[in-house]
Amino acid sequence: MPSWVYLLHPPRTGFVATITEDEAALMHAHADYLAALLDQGVLVLAGPTLGETNTGITVFEADDEDAARAVMLADPAVAGGLMTPELRPMRVRFLRGRED
């Protein structure tokens, strides 16, 4: 199955240090969404980059670009307008524990 990555660009630098209660609620829903994708076997890995700019990285599997875009747009952090998403196709080539 094809792999995809969506990047989540935060609304400002220092986002984690300055997060509001409303933003935190969306980020909790975002985490729950990712946990559900993991349970469904869709998610490969996800997490934020650290430092001043906390870009989120989500690597997942979807049949095609339309399906991948639907997964990304359903993320509460995106659907709620908090994060700016960027979708790209990805080939997971090197993954610990996987032999090709």
The Cα–Cα gap between 84 and 10 comes to 7
DSSP characters for 38-92?
HHTT-EEEEEE--SSS--EEEEEE-SSHHHHHHHHHHSHHHHTTSSEEEEEEE--
The Cα–Cα gap between 58 and 85 comes to 10
Q: Contact at 8 Å (CB) between 7 and 55?
A: yes
Lowest-confidence segment of 2-11, 32-41, 54-63, 90-99 by average pLDDT? 90-99
pLDDT tens per residue, range 76-85: 999 999 999 9
Residue 40 has pLDDT above 70, yes or no: yes
**What residue ranges define each of the domains in the chain, with the CATH number in brackets?**
3-90 (3.30.70.1060)
Q: What is the mean pLDDT of residues 12-24?
A: 95
Q: Contact at 8 Å (CB) between 30 and 47?
A: no
The Cα–Cα gap between 69 and 27 comes to 19
Whether this prediction's pTM lies above 0.85 is answered by yes
